[in-house]
Amino acid sequence: MADPTVALTFLAPEIIVALTGALVLVIDLIWIRSTDAPNTPRPWLAYLSIAGLGLAAGAVIGLAGVQTTLFEGIVILDPLSTFFKLLFLAIGMIVLLISVDPLPGFSKWSAEFFALIVWCTLGNMLLASAAELFTIFLCLQLTSLPLIVLIGYAKRDPLSSEASLKYLLLVLVSTAVLLYGMTLVYGALGTSTISEIGKVLAEQRLTPVLALGLVLLLTGFGFKITAVPFQYWVPDVYEGAPSPVTAFLSVGSKFAGFALALRIIVTGLDIPLNWHLIFGVMAALSMTLGNLGALRQTNIKRMLAYSGIAQAGYLLVGLAALSEMGIASLLFYTAAYGFANLLAFTAVIVFANATGSYEISDYAGLARRAPLASFALTVALLSLGGLPLLAGFMAKFYVFLFAAQAGLIWLVAVGVVNSVIALYYYLRVIWQLYVPEGSLDPISVAPRAGLAMSVCAVGVFAIGVFPEPVLRASQMAASALFGG
C-alpha cells in the first residue's frame, strides 16, 4: 500500500488529464478576453487537449508493470487498469481529432466541448482503477454527466435534445438501481471494497437481500455496456447525438462498463451461480437482437447503434468463458472493435459533412466522390463483420476459440450464425458506396479526418495481421484479475 505522497505519483496520468481539461477552459477564457473575434474557430484547443492526453498516455506507460493498491484498497494499479487507461486515452485523442471539423456545424462552444471530452476520459480512467463500490459510483457520475451535456450539444437539433433527455432519464434510473444494489451489498456484507467482498462471499451463504443487491448491481452495469435487455435507449441516443459524441459513446462508455464488470465479476462475485449460462444467454440475445435490428435500418447511425449492441454480445462471449484466456480475448476484442468503430464513424462524419444526410440510400456512388473515405468505411465494416486479415476476424477468432474451450459450443454456434447475418447489412452499405451511380462532384477530406482514418486503418490492419503484441498485452491484463 502506498503512502499519500507516492499515491499522487501513481495517479499522475489522471492528474494530467484533469489539469488538461481545466487548462483548455482557462486559455479559452484568456483568448476571448484578449481578441476582437471571440467566436472564431479554435482548433488549436483540440490539439492542446490531444497533447495533454498524449502526455498522460506517456505517464501510464511509465507506470506499466506497477501493481499496487492505494487509499486502503479503494484504487488499484495493475496491468488491467493500464490496458484500459491506454485504450481510453487513445479513444479520447481520436475523438478530439474528428470533432474539430463538424463542431462549428452544431456549436460555437468548442473549448467546453473539448474539456468535456477530456473529463469524460478522466472518468473512464478512474473507473478502470476503482476497486470500491461507492468510489465506482462517483466515477460513473464523472463519466455520465459530461455525456449528458455532450449528447445535447447540438442545441438547434431537436433530435439532439431528445437524445440528451433520454440519456438523462437512463442515467437517473440506472444510477438509482446501481446505488440501491451497492447499498444492499454493503449492508449484507459490511464492506464495499471489491477484494473484501470476494473474500466474504466465499465464506457466506447467499441471502435474499444479498442476491437482490447483486442483481441490481449487474443490472446497472448492463445499462452501461448496452447489453440486452438494457439496450432500448441506444438507437435513439446514437442517432440524436452529434456524430463525434456518438463515436465516443459507442466505445468509451461501453468499454468503461466492461472494465467495471470484469473487476467486480471476476474478483468479487465468488458465489455458486452458473455464470457461464447467465452471461452466455445475455451474449446470445445481444448478438441476435442487435443484428436483427440492424437489418431493418436505413440510417447509418442507427445501423451502427444496433451493430454496437451485437458487438456487446460478442464481448460478452469472452466474459461468459470466465477463464483467463477468455477475459484476454475480451480485452483483445475491445482494441479491435475500438479501432474499427472509430474508423467507421470518422468516414460517416466525412460523408455527413458533404451530403448533410445519414441515410444509407444517400451513399449511392460516394466511392467515386471520396474514394479514400469509402475505402476506410469499407475496411471498418468488413472488420466489424469479421473478415480475415482485419482486426475483427482475429478478435472473433479468439473469443470463439476460448469460449469453445470453456465448453460453450452452443454459444460459439450462435456467434458464427450472427456473424453471417451481420455481413449482410455491412455489405449492403458497401454495395451502396460502389455500385449505384451518383454525383461525380469530389468530396474533400479534411486533413484531421484523414489523419484519424489513417491511424484507425493502420490499427485495424496491424491487429489483423500481427495480433501477437495486443494479445500479449491482453493476457497480461487478464492475468492480473486471476492473481497472475
Cβ(426)–Cβ(385) under 8 Å?
Answer: yes
Average pLDDT value for residue range 145-155: 88
Is the pLDDT reported for residue 41 higher than 70? no
Nine-digit cell at 397?
477468432
Residue 427 pLDDT greater than 50, yes or no: yes
Contacts of 382 (CB under 8 A, 6+ apart): 390, 392, 426, 430
Phi then psi for 268, rounded to 5 degrees? -100, -30
pLDDT of the residue at 268: 67
**pLDDT given at position 206:** 75
Per-residue burial over 316-326, b if 16 or more Cβ lie within 10 Å, else e, is bbbbbbbbbbb
Q: Which residues contact 385 (CB under 8 A, 6 or more apart)?
A: 392, 419, 422, 423, 426, 427
- Reported as a single tens digit per residue, the pLDDT across 97-148 is 999 888 777 777 888 899 999 999 999 999 998 888 888 888 888 888 899 9
Residue 16 confidence (pLDDT)? 94
The whole-number pLDDT of residue 63 equals 86
Q: Of 179-193, 302-316, 369-383, where does mean pLDDT reach its minimum?
A: 179-193
In the predicted model, is pLDDT for residue 159 greater than 90? no
* 176 touches 206 (CB < 8 A): no
- 282 vs 33, higher pLDDT: 282
Taking residue 405's Cβ as centre, other Cβ atoms within 10 Å add up to 14
Mean pLDDT score, 227-240 = 86
Distance CA 257, CA 235 (A): 18
Question: Are 415 and 400 contacting, i.e. CB atoms less than 8 angstroms apart?
Answer: yes
- The band of 272, judged by pLDDT with boundaries at 50, 70 and 90, is low
- Lowest-confidence pick of 80-84, 331-335, 353-357, 384-388: 353-357
Q: Give the chain's mean pLDDT.
A: 88
Write down the pLDDT at residue 175: 85
pLDDT (mean) for 244-268: 87
Q: What's the pLDDT score for residue 47?
A: 93
Which three three-digit cell numbers place residue 484? 497472475
Is it the case that residue 204 has pLDDT exceeding 80? no
CB 363 within 8 A of CB 444: no
Q: For position 40, what pLDDT does the model report?
A: 66
Confidence of residue 31 (pLDDT cuts 50, 70, 90): confident
447-469 residue pLDDT tens:
899 999 999 999 999 999 999 99
What is the average pLDDT across 17-40?
80
Say what the pTM is.
0.93
**Average pLDDT of span 321-336:** 92
Distance of CA 368 to the CA centre of its chain: 32
List the single range of 69-83, 203-217, 418-432 with lowest mean pLDDT. 203-217
Q: Which of 18-27, 154-163, 199-208, 371-380 has the lowest mean pLDDT?
A: 199-208
Please give the pLDDT value at position 442.
82
Question: Is pLDDT above 90 for 271?
Answer: no
Model pLDDT, residue 1: 46
Q: Choose from 154-158, 417-421, 438-442 the range with maximum mean pLDDT.
A: 417-421
**Residues of the chain above pLDDT 90, percent:** 47
- Mean pLDDT throughout 46-64? 93
pLDDT average, residue stretch 416-435:
93
